[in-house]
A = this chain, B = another copy of it.
């Protein structure tokens, strides 16, 4: 989990995205957070470091990252979009108690993206959402 700024910067450059300070911070936060924050949580946290940060910049930047598949957005909660690193080639588990979202690796022809067509419909994306109570919340 070593993520220095140089690595993050080159990730952006690789996608042809100019590595501004706010973009670096947002990507860094997403990588380190790990629990799929929403736009507002990202904003609140970056604002501690960049007091002039604007919510609009967060939304703009997230759209930019999603377009280049650096980040994916998931709509599991129904109330907001939660963001995670990389393409959504894995599935997601939402804890109904604490709201945390955890990456899940499952294997089947659908989950692995082998199937490109069902009943004549062309499939471009597959999202698997599991909901329940996470390991931590079961114990407490």
Which chain A residues have a beta carbon within 8 Å of chain B's beta carbons? 73, 75-78, 81, 93, 95-96, 102, 104, 106, 108-111, 118-135, 138
Known: A78-B73, A108-B108, A108-B110. A130 touches B126 (CB 8 A): yes
Distance between Cα atoms of A131 and B34 in the complex (Å): 25
Distance between Cα atoms of A67 and B133 in the complex (Å): 18
Q: In the complex, what's the smallest C-beta–C-beta distance from A81 to chain B, in angstroms?
A: 6
Cβ of A132: which chain B residues have Cβ within 8 Å of it? 121-125
Q: In the complex, what's the smallest C-beta–C-beta distance from A47 to chain B, in angstroms?
A: 24
Cβ of A104: which chain B residues have Cβ within 8 Å of it? 118-119
The contact of A121 among B118, B124, B133, by CB within 8 Å, is: B133
Contact B106 A122 (CB under 8 A): no
The contact of A120 among B96, B130, B138, by CB within 8 Å, is: B138
Contact A127 B129 (CB under 8 A): yes
The contact of A125 among B106, B122, B131, B134, by CB within 8 Å, is: B131
Cβ of A130: which chain B residues have Cβ within 8 Å of it? 118, 121, 123, 125-127
Distance between Cα atoms of A126 and B93 in the complex (Å): 9
Cβ of A106: which chain B residues have Cβ within 8 Å of it? 110, 118
